[in-house]
Amino acid sequence: MTGIGRRAVLAGLAAATLPRPAVAQGARGRVVVVGGGFGGATAARVLQRAGLSVTLVEPAETYWACPFSNEVIAGLRPMAAQGFGYEALRARGVTVARTSAEAIDGAGRRVRLADGTTLDYDRLVVSPGIALRFDALAGYDEAAAQVMPHAWKAGTQTELLARQLAAMPDGGTVVLSVPGNPYRCPPGPYERASLIAWYLKTRKPRAKLIVLDAKDTFSKQRLFEQAWKALYPGTLDYVPLAGGGQVVSVDSRAMTVATDFETTRADVACIIPPQRAAPIAAAAGIADRSGWCPIDPVTFESRLVPRIHVVGDAAIAGAMPKSAFAANAQGKVCAEAVIDLLAERAPAAPKLINTCYSLVAPGYGISVAGVYHPDKGVLADVEGAGGTSPLDAPDAIRRREADYAEDWYRTITSAVFG
Amino acid sequence: MRAGLLLLLLASQAAASPAAASPPGASSCSGCHGAPGGAVPSLAGRTAEDIAAALAAFRAGTRPATVMTRIAKGFSDEESRAIAAWLAGGGR
């Protein structure tokens, strides 16, 4: 026996002792995935790869990714770099129903689609993302968002804010309103503040950015504040809750943003309102009174309706933030749990990772990472792991994290949509 | 002979369609680690021993890193070895 032949046989023996593929283990059933973002598209891919019949319900032909959209707003990146289609998923064998889910009958295990058809399922994965609450901030409704963009769902809103910034005269005032927790992408508003400040400093040096925050503490706070002090003094004015930063109303005609203490006139106003899970969650009965979806931390199955699993921003994922990385990680773990459950196996307790990069300037990246596991019924931090970039890092490390951020985006969008 | 064929069949199935259950944490890795050529090192072609040794060094703080020192601390040696074996076996 040659060395190679011997290795092949050993590999065969090793393979025989490994867990066999899901199909061989009897995972059968109809799986429907609602929502084609980072969570849903990921889950659909993993389920399809296991040999299951998967239908992904997604009305948009192009998905506009939020990560890196703050760079678009600051003129650092074309919008085209944020768009992804579903051709690759289709080519892999995922059926993509280009319509939206209107209702979910959890007892009858059926999804009703906007085009009038229905889809029966054995397991349903819902990854619907967020809805912006247009009932939470006086004066801020859908019409006001056309004047004062939230740009918290990427797409036309992103481009609107970018255009407004570009058209603003030097010497103008930009106001950025940041909501209380929880919301999509905890460090996102502060990355946006940083990159808008960078844009103003380099393109409109007499202009100012006022950041009005409904809270006092936030993700990567010391790193952001250190960078702001070094890079944007005189440009970026941060007002926390304790300093009267909570926005209580806006007037999109007068272009004013009001706190309990002060009314500020803005040339450009970006209002990030409070959020909840997208409407299909409430329609399906899987959202609780908080507006978000409680889940089992092992399977991501809804605590409220059996056989419906929820991943991504809509889920209450304990210590895990609402991020694209987290949605992708959850989509994979949830899909494996669904495969196990369809094969009548009990899924093992998972661990999940999150890594979120933020840019505070071009070439200046910072990160926060975490490892999570089910603990007392929720996804909790694994103690001793995770944390942020160091405060005292040299420029080379900031540069490297900026490069990693860019590469992360390339890799994850390719893994999900490519 | 028949047993040999069975082994080959099982091996080919395993290659075509990875098992559903990945070890805890393993499936998250492909969020950052993709094809070769990017800033983030690719794990393609690395042996289980290499990956496990890297994770152990990150955990111990003896190998400098940006995020991997923070992430590796979330896994025991046994968990890290299981992840390494899964990744080296083509898991993603």
ipTM of the complex: 0.91
Chain B residue at shortest CA distance from A413: B31
Q: What CATH superfamily is the domain A142-274?
A: FAD/NAD(P)-binding domain (3.50.50.60)
Could you tell me the two tokens for A211?
């950041």
* Per-residue pLDDT, B20: 54
B70, B42, B44: which is closest to B55 by C-alpha? B70
Residue A28's pLDDT band, with cuts at 50, 70 and 90, is: confident
Average per-residue pLDDT for chain A: 94
Question: Is B1 part of a structural domain of the chain?
Answer: no
Q: Please state, in angstroms and rounded to a whole number, the distance separating the CA atoms of residues A384 and A371.
A: 9
| Per-residue pLDDT at B6 exceeds 70 | no
Residue A6 in contact with partner chain B when CB distance is under 8 A: no
Q: State which H helix or E strand residue A365 sits in.
A: strand A364-375
Residue A319 vs residues A64, B60, B67: alpha-carbon distances, Å: 26, 25, 18
Q: pLDDT tens across A320-377, in order?
A: 999 999 999 999 999 999 999 999 999 999 999 999 999 999 999 999 999 999 999 9
pLDDT band with cut points at 50, 70 and 90 for residue A244: very high
Dihedral pair phi/psi, residue A85, rounded to 5°: -105, 180
Q: Is B39 contained in some domain?
A: yes
B70 contacts chain A (CB < 8 A): yes
CATH numeric code, A20-59+99-129+278-348: 3.50.50.60
Domain range enclosing B70: 21-88
Least Cα separation, residue A34 to chain B (angstroms): 21
Residue B29 lies in a domain: yes
Query: Is residue B7, in this structure, part of any structural domain at all?
Result: no
A340 touches chain B (CB under 8 A): yes
Considering only CA atoms, give the Rg of chain A: 23
pLDDT-based confidence at B92, cuts 50/70/90? confident
Domain count, chain B: 1
| Chain A residues touching residue B29 (CB < 8 angstroms) | 353
Contacting residues of B for A22, CB less than 8 Å apart:
17, 19-20
Q: Does the beta carbon of A103 lie under 8 angstroms from any beta carbon of chain B?
A: no
Whether A329 has its CB under 8 Å from any CB of chain B: the answer is: yes
Question: Per the CB < 8 Å rule, is B25 touching A412?
Answer: no
The pLDDT of residue A198 is: 98
Q: Compute the distance between CA of residue A58 and CA of residue A43 in angstroms, rounded to an integer.
A: 13
Angle (CA) A36-A37-A40 rounded to 5° is: 60
CB atoms closer than 10 angstroms to residue B69? 19
Contact A389 B35 (CB under 8 A): no
Q: Which residues of B touch A339 (CB under 8 A)?
A: 20
What pLDDT is recorded for position A27? 67
Q: What percent of chain A has pLDDT over 70?
A: 94
- What gap in Å lies between CA B33 and CA A291, rounded to an integer? 34
List every span in chain A annotated with CATH 3.50.50.60.
Answer: 20-59+99-129+278-348, 142-274
- B52: its two tokens: 């496990």
Instruction: Please give, rounded to a whole number of angstroms, the shortest distance from the CA of B70 to a CA of chain A.
Output: 5
Residue B13: inside a domain, yes or no?
A: no
Report the alpha-carbon distance of residue A311 to residue A295 in Å, rounded.
9
- CA-nearest residue to B89 within chain A is A15
In a domain, B54, yes or no: yes
In a domain, B3, yes or no: no
| B64 belongs to a structural domain | yes
Q: Which helix (H) or strand (E) holds A326?
A: helix A324-342
Q: Which long-range contacts (CB under 8 A, 24 or more apart) does B44-53 make?
A: B46/B87, B46/B88, B47/B88, B48/B81, B48/B84, B48/B85, B48/B87, B48/B88, B48/B89, B49/B84, B50/B84, B51/B83, B51/B84, B51/B87, B51/B88, B52/B80, B52/B81, B52/B84, B52/B85
Q: Among A357, A407, A412, pick the best mutation site for testing chain B contact (most B Cβ within 10 A).
A: A407
Full-model pTM? 0.92
Q: Region B13-29: what's the mean pLDDT?
A: 70
pLDDT, position B4: 45
pLDDT digits (tens, 9 = 90+) for A46-84: 999 999 999 999 999 999 999 999 999 999 999 999 999
Could you tell me the CA-to-CA distances from A195 to A75, A76, A323, A362 in Å, in that order?
Answer: 9, 9, 19, 8
Indicate whether A119 pLDDT > 70: yes
Query: What local confidence, expressed as pLDDT, does residue A319 receive?
Result: 97
pLDDT, tens only, B40-68 = 999 999 999 999 999 999 999 999 999 99
- In this prediction, residue B21 carries a pLDDT of 82
The DSSP letter of residue B41 is P
Residue A410: list chain B partners with CB under 8 A: 34, 38
Q: What is the CATH number of the domain that holds B69?
A: 1.10.760.10
Specify the pLDDT at position B2.
46
B74 touches chain A (CB under 8 A): yes
Which of B6, B55, B70, B78 would best serve as a mutation to test chain A binding (most A beta carbons within 10 A)?
Answer: B70
A154-178 residue pLDDT tens: 999 999 999 999 999 999 999 999 9
Kind and range of the H or E run holding A383: none
